[in-house]
């Protein structure tokens, strides 16, 4: 069990495992943030309940109101009349029946049967409906012409009413209608009674219901009704407190995902897959384009923390509900400080990575803002403005300038996008100005406040921290100025030389300047053993063995590292302190030991412990240190002599292998030499000499001119200054 725990503990400390952990952290955070966006907190309201609170739409939605659509379609279907088919054979059959009735009476009257009773019986048996004897007798007495005319009347009347179709439910009404029309014919009672009986017994429906055709027409009517489309805008009230819940309310709640919202498996998988691809693409970019950042797991975690932190802030800002200014509330996405990502990463790491991180963050802000492209575009532009604003950060007030640039960009992009969306100027003017200024303020405040914390967490030194370190009020610099003033002024000169060289080759100017300020702080332990701090002409090394002097001189590197760690200086400054002499030879004491003809002398014993400079910045400090110490000990050197000395020192460092492990090229060395010569020539320019009387009444130069009796000491100081006090 113990071995298993040790194994996993060791695995988690592996750089690869830390990098995977940073990627997983970013992936899970992005997935959770976007998942909550797609699945907001739901409600369990039911139709008929009273809403306990006001519910507003968290996002825009366009949906079909299926309940209302179905109601309209049912109404359209109900308006479709039933389809009836008229059967023409029915009318022909009725007309035939009428003729047969008339012909039956005529035939009975012409019958050769003897006696009235026989003919009456024949009539009654020939008709399809019963009649009385009196009616039969009356009909037999009618002329044939009258009977045929009666049949013609009935045929006409039936044809008129039946041609439009008579349904079963309309049959009785139709019979009543025909009876009324028969009364208008002015027939005698027997004829009218006979006509009524014919209509009563022969009339039948000729219009029959067609369910198939009716259903087809009803379906067409349903399909002709378009869906009822409802548009919901962000922030729109769906239901107010105290209102009774209706089906329409439920439909709107479902449309915006607030009704019994539960994430489906497919949706969760889709969100996770999308965020995984985004994370992989981002980390692969870092792996390809910034391998030094990729190898540092702390920086990967730092990047992830910054992106996730800004997205959490965006989530909070987008959730703010401004009741008194609803138009501003709908535009709060413009106030999301995406620029914080760009400003922090450009300051702590580099600008190219900051630009990509800004693009990723802006895209995700657009997703969190209900997939609104306008907020993603605004975040992208303000983020790029933030990156540009801190690209050349040289002083703390540059952060304020960057925030002003972000705010100005925010105002411009807000006005531009909203003008294109036809937002009224009365709303756009103050809202755009407010949101832009808010974005700039948040970006400046959050960047300035987060920098110290992120520097500590990521082990990164920002330009702001370097600027603070170069302030004369820093405790360690104040101590150096008081306890070792010569070393302090030497460090100032080295910083001036190093800054000019760094600018010439495009190195980190602030790192070089801060490194130069602190490169010799180890001399605080024994300041009097270094020539620039000597008072008078007594040199303590004259009484020491060369080996001991070498040990004292070289120990200022180790002492400097210890003091730097004690004062919690950044690691990159400590590296410059450790590397600014490399493995150079302390030649003056080495030559002194050789001249003393001591035995067992090894050159390695008279070299600094190293390591050699690993960065261009450390190499610049090394060269500036050696050049300044050498030129300082010269007495009004002419420009040609300065240039020769500078090139000789650089050449010596190059041939000694001190520049083998840094990234300086021959072109860089040439530019560095030109920069050194330009600064030193300006420093040691020809001065106007003011004659003064010496003690013997003769005229001499000022105190900077050394008499010939000190020229030997001056040459010794050149050698010592280059090696011992450099």
Q: Give the mean pLDDT of 421-447.
A: 77
Out of 415, 439, 460, a domain closes at 460
Q: Give the mean pLDDT of 54-83.
A: 82
Out of 418, 433, 460, a domain closes at 460
Distance CA 414, CA 332 (A): 10
Distance CA 239, CA 675 (A): 73
- Residues 518, 404 share a domain: no
pLDDT at 322: 52
pLDDT at 38: 61
- Residues 629, 657 share a domain: yes
Whether residue 68 is contained in a domain is answered as no
Average pLDDT of every residue of the chain: 81
For residue 488, give both structure tokens. 């302090």
Distance CA 675, CA 278 (A): 45
- Residues 446, 498 share a domain: no
Preceding omega of 611 cis (within 30 degrees of 0): yes
Distance CA 360, CA 542 (A): 65
- Residues 475, 409 share a domain: no
In the chain, DSSP finds a helix count (H) and a strand count (E) of 31, 8
- Residues 565, 439 share a domain: no
Q: Would you say residue 719 has pLDDT above 50?
A: no
Lowest mean pLDDT segment, chosen from 410-424, 428-442, 453-467, 684-698: 684-698
Reported confidence tier of residue 553, pLDDT bands at 50, 70, 90:
confident
The total number of structural domains that make up the chain:
3
Q: Give the mean pLDDT of 448-472.
A: 81
pLDDT at 416: 83
Q: Would you say residue 597 has pLDDT above 70?
A: no
- Residues 394, 495 share a domain: no
Whether residue 675 is contained in a domain is answered as yes
Share of the chain above pLDDT 90, in %: 28
pLDDT at 35: 78
- Residues 679, 584 share a domain: yes
Q: Give the mean pLDDT of 197-204.
A: 89
State how far the alpha carbon of 64 is from the alpha carbons of 45, 226, 252, in Å.
20, 10, 10
Q: Tens of pLDDT along 520-545?
A: 999 999 888 887 877 766 778 777 88
- Residues 293, 180 share a domain: no
Whether residue 671 is contained in a domain is answered as yes
CATH number for the domain including 516?
Answer: 1.10.3210
Domain that holds residue 412: 264-460
Whether residue 214 is contained in a domain is answered as no
Q: Tens of pLDDT along 9-49?
A: 554 467 788 889 999 999 999 998 887 666 555 566 777 78
Out of 436, 460, 484, a domain closes at 460
Most confident by average pLDDT, 3-12, 34-43, 50-59, 474-483:
474-483
For 87-108, what is the HEC assignment?
A: CHHHHHHHHHHHHHHHHHHHHH
pLDDT at 28: 93
Distance CA 454, CA 460 (A): 8
Report the candidate in 65, 61, 62, 60 with the shortest Cα–Cα distance to residue 226: 65
pLDDT at 13: 60
Bigger pLDDT: 261 vs 125: 125
Lowest mean pLDDT segment, chosen from 92-106, 317-331, 409-423: 317-331
Bigger pLDDT: 204 vs 711: 204
pLDDT at 111: 77
Distance CA 477, CA 483 (A): 10
Q: Would you say residue 723 has pLDDT above 60?
A: no
Q: Would you say residue 400 has pLDDT above 60?
A: yes
Q: Would you say residue 492 has pLDDT above 70?
A: yes
Specify the DSSP element, H or E, that contains 215. helix 211-224
Reported confidence tier of residue 410, pLDDT bands at 50, 70, 90:
confident
- Residues 398, 313 share a domain: yes
Whether residue 672 is contained in a domain is answered as yes
Contact 722, 649 (CB under 8 A): yes
pLDDT at 7: 42
Return the CA Rg of the chain: 53
Q: Give the mean pLDDT of 655-661.
A: 92
- Residues 446, 430 share a domain: yes
- Residues 357, 324 share a domain: yes
Q: Would you say residue 659 has pLDDT above 50?
A: yes
Whether residue 428 is contained in a domain is answered as yes
DSSP 57: -
Whether residue 349 is contained in a domain is answered as yes
- Residues 590, 499 share a domain: yes
CATH number for the domain including 289?
Answer: 1.10.1760
Distance CA 494, CA 726 (A): 10
Whether residue 181 is contained in a domain is answered as yes
In sequence order, which residues have a C-beta less than 8 Å from that of residue 264 and are 6 or more positions away? none
Distance CA 463, CA 443 (A): 17
pLDDT at 700: 31
């Amino acid at each position: 069990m113990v071995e298993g725990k040790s194994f996993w503990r060791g695995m988690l400390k592996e750089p690869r495992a830390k990098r995977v952990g940073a990627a997983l952290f970013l992936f899970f955070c992005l997935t959770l943030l976007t998942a909550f966006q797609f699945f907001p907190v739901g409600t369990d309201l039911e139709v008929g309940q009273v809403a306990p609170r006001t519910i507003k739409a968290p996002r825009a939605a366009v949906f079909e109101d299926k309940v209302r659509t179905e109601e309209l379609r049912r109404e359209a279907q109900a308006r479709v009349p039933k389809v009836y088919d008229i059967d023409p054979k029915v009318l022909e059959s009725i007309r035939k029946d009428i003729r047969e009735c008339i012909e039956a009476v005529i035939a009975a009257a012409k019958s050769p049967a003897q006696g009235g009773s026989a003919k009456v019986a024949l009539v009654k048996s020939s008709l399809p409906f019963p009649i009385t004897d009196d009616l039969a007798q009356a009909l037999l007495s009618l002329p044939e012409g009258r009977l045929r005319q009666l049949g013609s009347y009935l045929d006409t009347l039936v044809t008129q009413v039946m041609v439009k179709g008579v349904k079963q439910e309309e049959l009785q009404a139709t019979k009543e209608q025909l009876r009324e029309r028969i009364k208008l014919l002015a027939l005698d009672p027997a004829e009218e009674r006979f006509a009524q009986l014919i209509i009563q017994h022969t009339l039948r429906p000729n219009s029959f219901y067609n369910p198939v055709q009716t259903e087809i027409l009803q379906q067409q009517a349903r399909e002709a009704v378009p869906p009822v489309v409802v548009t919901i805008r962000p922030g729109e009230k769906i239901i107010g407190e105290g209102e009774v819940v209706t089906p329409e309310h439920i439909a709107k709640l479902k449309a915006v995902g607030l009704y019994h919202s539960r994430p489906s498996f497919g949706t969760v998988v889709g969100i996770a897959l999308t965020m995984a691809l985004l994370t992989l693409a981002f980390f692969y970019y870092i792996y390809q384009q910034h391998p030094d950042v990729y190898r540092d797991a702390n920086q990967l975690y730092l990047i992830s923390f910054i992106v996730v932190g800004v997205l959490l802030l965006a989530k909070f800002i987008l959730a703010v509900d401004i009741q008194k200014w609803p138009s501003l509330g709908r535009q709060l996405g413009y106030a999301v400080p995406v620029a914080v990502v760009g400003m922090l990463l450009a300051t702590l790491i580099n600008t190219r990575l900051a630009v990509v991180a800004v693009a990723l963050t802006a895209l995700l802000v657009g997703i969190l803002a209900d997939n609104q492209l306008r907020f993603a575009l605004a975040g992208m532009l303000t983020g790029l403005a933030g990156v540009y604003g801190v690209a050349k950060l040289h002083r703390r007030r540059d952060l304020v300038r960057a925030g002003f640039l972000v705010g100005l960009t925010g105002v411009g992009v807000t006005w531009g996008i909203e003008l294109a969306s036809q937002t009224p100027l009365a709303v756009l003017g103050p809202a755009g100005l407010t949101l832009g200024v808010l974005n700039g303020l948040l970006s400046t405040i959050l960047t300035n406040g987060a920098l110290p914390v992120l520097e500590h967490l990521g082990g990164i030194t920002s330009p702001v921290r370097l600027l603070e370190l170069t302030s004369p009020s820093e405790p360690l610099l104040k101590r150096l100025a008081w306890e070792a003033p010569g070393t302090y002024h030497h460090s100032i000169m080295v910083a001036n030389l190093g800054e000019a060289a760094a600018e010439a080759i495009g190195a980190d100017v602030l790192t070089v300047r801060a490194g130069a300020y602190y490169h010799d702080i180890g001399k605080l332990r024994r300041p009097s053993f270094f020539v620039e701090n000597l008072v008078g002409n007594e040199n303590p090394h004259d009484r020491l063995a060369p080996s001991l002097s070498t040990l004292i001189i070289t120990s200022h590197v180790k002492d400097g590292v210890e003091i730097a760690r004690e004062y919690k200086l950044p690691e990159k400054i400590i590296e410059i302190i450790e590397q600014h002499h490399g493995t150079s030879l302390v030649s003056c004491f080495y030559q002194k030991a050789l001249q003393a003809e001591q035995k067992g002398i090894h050159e390695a014993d008279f070299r600094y412990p190293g390591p050699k400079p690993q960065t261009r910045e450390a190499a610049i400090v090394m060269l500036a240190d050696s050049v300044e110490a050498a030129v300082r000990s010269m007495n009004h050197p002419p420009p040609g002599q300065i240039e020769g000395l500078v090139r000789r020192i650089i050449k010596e460092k190059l041939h000694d292998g001190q520049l083998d492990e840094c990234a300086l090229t021959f072109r860089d060395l040439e530019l560095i030499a030109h920069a050194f010569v330009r600064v030193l020539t300006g420093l040691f320019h020809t001065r106007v000499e003011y004659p003064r009387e010496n003690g013997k009444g003769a005229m001499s130069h000022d105190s900077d001119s050394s008499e010939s009796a000190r020229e030997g000491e001056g040459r010794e100081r050149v050698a010592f200054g280059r090696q011992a006090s450099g």
